[in-house]
Structure 1
Amino acid sequence: MSFLSDLFLSAFQLPDALSSASAFLLITISFATSALTAALGLGGGIALLAIMASVMPIGALIPVHGVVQLGSNTGRALVQIRHLDRTILLWFTLGSILGAWIGGNIVVALPDAPLKMGLAFFILWSVWARKPKFDKLPRWLLASGGLVATFLTMFFGATGPVVGALISSIVPDRLTFVATHAACMTFQHCLKVIVFGLLGFAFAPWFGLLAAMIFTGFLGTLAGTHVLGRMPEAIFKRGFKLIMSLLALNLIWQAARVFMA
């Protein structure tokens, strides 16, 4: 494993805090998590974040994860662009700009456990509760969702389930959901990367790893999109609800451990 990873990464300059074996693992996982997101619509971003958190410095976690997710979601949005709902993207984008600006001006650590608990219950409600139709849903709610999700991504990174919960109630089918979700997340991560750059984060030492992870992530997108096109609608809906619920329960467990400590 060590020999293969050293050979594979010999052309890349890695940060001192990251071993070649860890970088090789992240490059491989980027493919798998991108395929998961392309096939089920979400879940890969949080899975990747959890693995990255175990092998790299926490201070670099959110900005580096943001760049990888920007590349992954951009590829997915381009591959599936014909299914994009541009109205949803427009309103989500308007809120995201304000959310990034607010988040970038708050340089403090927010309470982790209460926010995770709130996110978890919001996700569960959005997945299982009866929701209004798109033609009756106020357009400002999409902008508000973009604002909140983009604000939170500045501190927690993977807010894909929050965006997915909002979009899933107002799109007609899985192809529209995956394409629109990817486009919304692309814009959100783009804003996040810009803000972290303005705050002074040094992306240059991570360039080689980021390029490799974005490349394998795009290959994963192609593989996951192939699975998506072959997946029956009923199976997709069950898989989507299962993934969302498990992610929410995991957030509740993490928050509960903090409260019980």
Structure 2
Amino acid sequence: MNELILGLLTFFTSTIAGIIGVGGGMMLIVILPSFLPLNALIPIHGLTQVSSNLSRAIFGYRDVQFEVIPKFLLGSFIGIGMFTVVLTLISLEYVPLFIGIYILLSLWSEKFNEKIKRYENYFLAGFFQTGLSMVVGATGPLTMTLLLKDYKDKNKVVATGAVLMSITHILKLFVFMYFGFVFFDYIGVIIAMIIGAVTGSWVSTKLRDKIDGKKFTIILKVLLTALAIQVIVKVFI
């Protein structure tokens, strides 16, 4: 029964993420603790997000902006290595707070954007998104705010974001396998969630064209804002 429920929930969150570009992963990681033990939470979530994002990128491959990938990939390799070490040394409980504040300022403060623009790049985005995903689980909003500034076409934002998030989750999975997590122990749940994720990606690709560019930007900003506030609030609860 859990397999069916999780498959349907993954379909729903994957569809939302495929239409808007972000949000599905964060919704899913909030839901999963009700169905999975804590030690399986981030690994299973990561595997599901690989299938969701990779299928979304494949369905929209014509819109992927490949020029951003090399810098992001290099940053991701360094980030996953450093944060894997850092995780064993210090507490990172307040990291989500800084992520949430950064997203809010990036979306709504022109002065902040003017000052941060010289430092913002896909290398740093890869470093922090992939590194912090070991702790936070869903860090897609970090690169989505950057893509939203660089590209006005909604399909380019969604497809390119899907590739970058795929890189993040794939590297994270290798780390969990290195530390001995056995994915086969959850094979029924994994199959159901992958089917839901891929189906959701396909459906969302068909629905995305129904939304015009201006409405898409407004919806994405509102959703990113809501997710950022949720992340900040959770730090203090």
TM range (shorter): over 0.9
CA distance in 1, matches of 2:190, 2:91: 27
CA distance in 2, matches of 1:121, 1:233: 26
Alignment of 1:140-159 (within 5 A): 141-159=121-139
CA distance in 2, matches of 1:246, 1:71: 25
Partner of 2:206: 226
C-alpha offsets along residues 41-98 of structure 1, whole Å, 9 cap, x if unaligned?
1000000111002221111101110000011111000000100111112211110011
Partner of 1:242: 222
Alignment of 1:4-83 (within 5 A): 21-83=1-63
Correspondence for 2:193 among 185, 208, 213: 213
Q: Is the 8 A contact 1:91 1:139 kept in 2?
A: no
C-alpha offsets along residues 132-184 of structure 1, whole Å, 9 cap, x if unaligned?
6xxxx669721011001111001111001112122221123111000100000
Partner of 2:158: 178
| Secondary structure in 2 matching 1:230 | coil
| Secondary structure in 1 matching 2:230 | helix
| Secondary structure in 1 matching 2:180 | coil
Q: Is the 8 A contact 1:66 1:192 kept in 2?
A: yes
> Aligned AA for 2:127?
L
Gaps of at least 5 residues in structure 2 are: none
Report the alpha carbon displacement of residue 104 of structure 1 after superposing the two structures with TM: 2.5
Partner of 1:204: 184
Q: Is the 8 A contact 2:43 2:173 kept in 1?
A: yes
Gaps of at least 5 residues in structure 1 are: 1-20
Matched, 1:188 2:168: yes
Normalising by structure 2, report the TM-score. 0.92
Q: After the TM superposition, which parts of structure 1 deviate over 4 Å for at least 4 consecutive aligned residues?
A: 137-140
Percent identical among aligned pairs is 29
Correspondence for 2:76 among 77, 84, 96: 96
Higher relative contact order (CA 8 A, sep 6+): 2
CA distance in 1, matches of 2:174, 2:92: 24
CA distance in 1, matches of 2:127, 2:102: 15
206-215 vs 182-191, greater mean Cα deviation? 206-215
Q: Is the 8 A contact 1:91 1:140 kept in 2?
A: no
Partner of 2:91: 110
Count residues in correspondence: 233
Report the alpha carbon displacement of residue 117 of structure 1 after superposing the two structures with TM: 1.3
C-alpha offsets along residues 181-210 of structure 1, whole Å, 9 cap, x if unaligned?
000011111100011101111111112221
Q: Is the 8 A contact 2:4 2:192 kept in 1?
A: no
Q: Is the 8 A contact 2:96 2:136 kept in 1?
A: no
Report which of the two structures shows the higher radius of gyration computed on alpha carbons: 1
Normalising by structure 1, report the TM-score. 0.84
Partner of 1:127: 107
